[in-house]
Amino acid sequence: MLICDGDAKWSASVRTRLDDAGIRVVPTPFQAPNADGYAERFVRSIKAECLSRVMPFGERHLRRTLTEFVEYYHGERNHQGLGNERIDRAPPPRGVTLADRPPRRFGCVLGHHGLRDECLNVHHKLLILSRHVSEYRTLIDAADLPDLAITSTDDPAAAAASARDCDLALGEPSLLAHVLPVMTRLRWAQSTWAGVEPLLDPSLRRDYVLTNACGVFGGLMSEYVFAYLLARERRILEKYASQQAVRWDPAPPGTLRGKHLGLLGVGSIGSALARTAKHFGMRVNGYTRSSERCPDVDAYFHGHHALVEFARDLDYLVCVMPNTDETRRLVDRRLLHALPPRAVFVNPGRGNVVDTEALAEALRTGRLAAAVLDVFEHEPLRPEHVLWRTPNVLITSHTAALSIPRDIASVFVDNYWRLSRGEPLQCRVDFERGY
């Protein structure tokens, strides 16, 4: 028997389907039999979990959810009473095996006195706010995530009204920052970027879980960095210039084998770069705050006092550090002078990490051989900026590793399942550290 109160939201069609399935429904006012109100809360949760949560989603969703609940109900009939069982299992939709998706959660977590703490109400409302909104919406819809209503737009102003009711968000930090003040129910926001600087503004709230797009840019960053390292070693630009001049150019190319790579930052991106460097037979130095988790780094360095030793004898210095107070202007005159004159600086990370004037001076005076720059403190780079006219600079206009919706959506989907299972989310951002 399923006991419920006489709420008008329980439509006649719902009762009919449950009656046909052999589940007796008794609509009656319910009074809690004890001071703690366990039974009353149990009734409210069963109604919310199994029926009223699907009312806004139309007949098709209602029919599917009722079918799942009926299967679940009969599958659990062998339980003797409510006791201490953890009721969190339900069959997947038809055509989907248990191996295809984690279980949905119906019912309550039960303890020695009936209902323990609170019932599982796993209904969520997601705001997708992105310039690529149609792609993200298609990908999230295709994932068929349970208990999820979605509203989507590319306009923060249009999102403001519906954002108030959303407890989840997915989008670019620069757009989410506009609606964050009105998202009073927000529990979790998934950034489509690796960096989340717009959401770290001290004036914005931080009473929610923020996750970034970690683990998806390593491959793209490796393509970018090693494209330019190989172009330099193989003298591709020089060979092309010789071809344009109709000049035979037998100058031998260099090789990455045996060259020395320095990584400022060895997180998920830095680890991918170190792994690729090992493929080419390079030696790798890693500079981090304290971690030494990547096995492809030959030597680790920590702290500002170790920067000079870290930079000594490098052929290539690649910066993939986050933008924090500690990393601001880390690549300064002192570090650049510690590099040998043959070194090449590559920055696909954060523009604020570099002292631009010191970098331009090192390039003009020959203290540094060349630089490949993708990011800058202020973008787009102004036409009068000194770097446009600095020798031996390649500027790639913040295109090193763009967010691909398919990759970012997979991060969100994985984290949503973790949320539904009550597990810690991946790629969580520490607001204090800034990454």
Rg (the chain; Cα; Å): 28
Buried b (16+ CB within 10 A) or exposed e, 382-411: eeeebbeebeebeebebebbebbbebbbbb
Element (H, E) at 26: strand 25-27
> Under 8 Å CB-to-CB from 398, ≥6 apart: which residues?
374, 375, 376, 379
Q: State the DSSP code for 365.
A: T
Q: Is-catalytic flag, 379?
A: yes
Element (H, E) at 229: helix 218-233
**Integer angstrom CA distances of residue 114 from 35, 46, 120:** 13, 13, 14
Q: Is-catalytic flag, 398?
A: yes
**Integer angstrom CA distances of residue 266 from 31, 296, 328, 386, 395:** 59, 10, 17, 30, 23
Instruction: For 86-99, give the DSSP string.
Output: B----PPPTT--TT
Calpha distance 42→64 (Å, rounded) = 23
3-state SS class at 227: helix
Given a contact cutoff of 8 angstroms between Cβ atoms, the answer to whether 256 and 232 are in contact is no
Of 234, 398, 418, 428, the active-site residue reads 398
Of 379, 389, 423, 433, the active-site residue reads 379
**Integer angstrom CA distances of residue 269 from 72, 194, 284, 301, 377:** 44, 10, 14, 17, 20
Buried b (16+ CB within 10 A) or exposed e, 257-274: eebbbbbbbbbbbbbbbb
Q: Is-catalytic flag, 17?
A: no
Calpha distance 190→210 (Å, rounded) = 6
- Kindly report the CA angle at 86 between 82 and 87, in degrees rounded to 5? 75
> Under 8 Å CB-to-CB from 14, ≥6 apart: which residues?
51, 62, 66
**Residues annotated as part of the active site:** 350, 379, 398
